[in-house]
Amino acid sequence: MRNYRGLTKEDKWVFGWHTEVDGDATIITNEASFDWSDNEGMGVRGGFIEVIPETVCQSIGIKDKNGKEIYTGDKLTTHRYRNAEDKIDGHVRFDHGAFVIGEGSISLHALWLADDVIEIIGTIHDKETK
């Protein structure tokens, strides 16, 4: 499975697995620990962090030219087919079974081989874009 991230109410990104706990969007971080010693069932200690639901993003499984993991909601700049004249800026989203960039349907599958020209320039959750 791919990693997720979410923004806390304190404006901090946390990374891990996404779930809902009591109706709240939650990221389970690597710090979570589970205890089965209680006969009542599983106990959980730490690592469950509530996040703002609209900010939960999934990793798409590739990194940009600077080695940063790319998530849905990231704003990218790149060039279509390595053509410097054909610049593409847009945000990553999941549409019709594929990760795409921009308002159209430019599939990121075409960009898998061009990760040396993809650069993250922000996210749709950056304060200055709201």
As a 3-state breakdown, the chain gives helix, strand, coil percent values, each rounded to 5, of 10, 50, 40
- Does pLDDT of 31 surpass 90? no
pLDDT band at 88 (very low <50, low <70, confident <90, very high): confident
Instruction: For residue 12, report the phi and psi dihedrals to the nearest 5 degrees.
Output: -125, 130
In the chain, list all ranges with CATH 2.30.30.290.
60-129
Give the mean pLDDT of 112-130: 73
Residue 130: count other Cβ atoms within 10 Å of its Cβ: 6
Predicted confidence at residue 35, as pLDDT, reads: 67
Q: Which is higher by pLDDT, 57 or 114?
A: 57
CATH entry, 60-129, from 2.40.30.10, 3.40.50.300, 3.40.50.1100, 2.30.30.290: 2.30.30.290
Beta-sheet pairing, 87-95 with 74-79: antiparallel
Residue 27: count other Cβ atoms within 10 Å of its Cβ: 25
